[in-house]
């Protein structure tokens, strides 16, 4: 018994002195002490020489020795693994994480969403329609019959004749589609992509984006239109912007106007962007022409309405001071990365 006690304490001293600094030494330690032919197993052989009355005590000692060795081995293993010398890969939680590239919204989408949210607050609902339109919805119903000279200003890409299919030149076509449903009063904004047969330059493109608005009810007046657009400008650009209305012509509105705001660059003093006038044009508008209402089956003696339409590119260029329209469709990341999503 005494022999067993002194032998085990010798082994324990040896174990504590073992130097283990890498995975290979750790494995050698395991084989030497805990392997099938290791010292722990071999010590169990003492049992057969121990007298019966001491067997319980010897068993306890041997078991304690086994637990001591196993837990020392577990401690060494932890040490090797956390020191990174294990030869295996373990994650280091203190390293900085991988940076995942996060996209940002396209500037046109950012401004489109802002425009929509301003008008939503005024009770406008969003309405959408097809980009491939028929002649009726894009032109004829809007008081632009075949051979009307104003069609010239909105030349487009004609896909098919009889039936007449073309790429819509404005989202006013969506206004017609909604009016045809004859659910009045009607208060909608129509965002979307539109097309024109134009030579591409810094100021024109063969496609761009619009938001058009329409409000039809009883007793809607030009004063309602002015106040709505004034609110829009203040929300979009800020409180210190003035607006002015200039008489204009659109076949689908009477009277018609174009709306200017004080120049975003010089705030009205006069600069090269506003051509020294202090004003920049942002949209067209007017009171819906009675012919348009009648074309959609709406009684023009009972109902009146206003409409307006703006190019989102134009608003975006003014807001972010972008000088070339082509940048919006070139997909140059150096340009697009400058706009953070909102």
Q: How far is the CB of 171 from ligand DAH (least distance, A)?
A: 8
Q: Which stretch binds ligand DAH (CB under 6 A): 11-19, 113-121, 127-135, 307-315?
A: 307-315
The residues that bridge with 126 in the sheet, in sequence order, are: 189
Residue 138 is a binding residue for ligand DAH (CB under 6 A): no
Q: Is 208 in the site for ligand DAH (CB under 6 A)?
A: no
**Contact of 284 with 296, CB cutoff 8 Å:** no
212 binds ligand DAH (CB under 6 A): yes
Stretch that binds ligand DAH, among 160-168, 273-281, 302-310, 318-326 (CB under 6 A): 302-310
With respect to ligand DAH, which residue has the nearer C-beta, 236 or 307?
307
Least distance to ligand DAH, CB of residue 161, Å: 23
Interacting span for ligand DAH (CB under 6 A) from 55-63, 119-127, 267-275, 303-311: 303-311
By C-beta, is 80 or 194 nearer to ligand DAH? Answer: 194
Q: How many residues bind ligand DAH (CB under 6 A)?
A: 11
Q: Which is nearer to ligand DAH, 15 or 283 (CB)?
A: 283
By beta-carbon proximity to ligand DAH, the closer residue of 191 and 284 is 284
Output the smallest distance, CB 194 to ligand DAH, in A: 7
Q: What count of Cα atoms within 13 Å lies in the side-chain half-sphere of residue 150?
A: 14
Options 167, 176, 309, 318; binder of ligand DAH; rule CB under 6 A = 309
Q: Residue 132 in 3-state DSSP?
A: strand
- Per CB under 6 A, the list member of 138, 253, 295, 304 interacting with ligand DAH is 253
CA distance 140 to 73: 89
Nearer to ligand DAH, 20 or 211 (CB): 211
Q: Do 307 and 252 touch, CB atoms closer than 8 A?
A: yes
What is the token pair recorded at 262? Answer: 């004080």
What's the min distance (Å) between Cβ of 276 and ligand DAH? 25
Which span (6-14, 32-40, 44-52, 304-312) binds ligand DAH, by CB under 6 A? 304-312
Shorter beta-carbon distance to ligand DAH: residue 107 or 284: 284
Instruction: Look at the chain and count its residues.
Output: 342
Map residues 257-286 to x or -, x wherever contact with ligand DAH holds by CB under 6 A. ---------------------------xxx
Nearest to 309 by CA among 224, 215, 212, 214: 212
Q: Alpha-carbon distance 71 to 75, whole Å?
A: 6
In the bound state with ligand DAH, the residue whose beta carbon lies nearer, of 72 and 168, is: 168
Q: At closest approach, how far in Å is the CB of 190 from ligand DAH? A: 9
Min dist CB 284 to ligand DAH, Å, is 3
Closer residue to ligand DAH (CB): 107 or 213: 213
User: Which residues lie near ligand DAH (CB under 6 A)?
Assistant: 170, 172, 212, 250, 253, 284-286, 307-309
């Amino acid at each position: 018994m005494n022999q067993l006690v002194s032998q085990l304490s010798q082994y324990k001293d040896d174990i504590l002195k073992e130097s283990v600094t890498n995975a290979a030494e750790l494995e050698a330690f395991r084989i030497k002490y805990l392997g099938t032919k290791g010292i722990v197993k071999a010590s169990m052989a003492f049992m057969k020489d121990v007298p019966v009355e001491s067997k319980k005590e010897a068993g306890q000692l041997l078991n304690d020795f086994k637990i001591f060795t196993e837990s020392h081995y577990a401690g060494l293993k932890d040490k090797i693994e956390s020191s990174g010398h294990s030869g295996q890969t373990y994650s280091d939680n203190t390293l900085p994480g991988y940076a995942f590239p996060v996209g940002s919204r396209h500037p046109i989408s950012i401004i489109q969403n802002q425009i929509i949210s301003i008008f939503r607050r005024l009770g406008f609902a969003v309405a959408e329609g097809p980009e491939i339109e028929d002649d009726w919805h894009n032109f004829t119903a809007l008081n632009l019959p075949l051979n009307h000279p104003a069609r010239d200003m909105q030349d487009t890409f004609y896909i098919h004749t009889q039936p007449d299919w073309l790429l819509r030149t404005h989202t006013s076509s969506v206004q017609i589609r909604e009016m045809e449903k004859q659910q009045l009063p009607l208060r909608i904004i129509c965002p979307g992509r539109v097309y024109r047969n134009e030579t591409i330059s810094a100021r024109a493109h063969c496609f761009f984006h619009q938001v058009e608005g329409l409000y039809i009810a009883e007793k809607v007046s030009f004063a309602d239109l002015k106040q709505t657009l004034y609110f829009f400008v203040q929300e979009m650009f800020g409180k210190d912007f003035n607006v002015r209305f200039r008489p204009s012509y659109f076949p689908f509105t009477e009277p018609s106007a174009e709306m200017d705001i004080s120049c975003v660059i010089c705030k009205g003093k006069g600069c090269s962007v506003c051509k020294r006038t202090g004003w920049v044009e942002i949209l067209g508008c007017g009171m819906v022409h009675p012919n348009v209402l009648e074309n959609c089956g709406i009684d023009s003696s009972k109902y009146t309405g206003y409409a307006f339409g703006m190019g989102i590119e134009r608003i975006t260029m003014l807001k972010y001071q972008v000088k070339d329209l082509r940048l919006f469709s070139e997909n140059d990341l150096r340009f697009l990365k400058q706009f953070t999503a909102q």
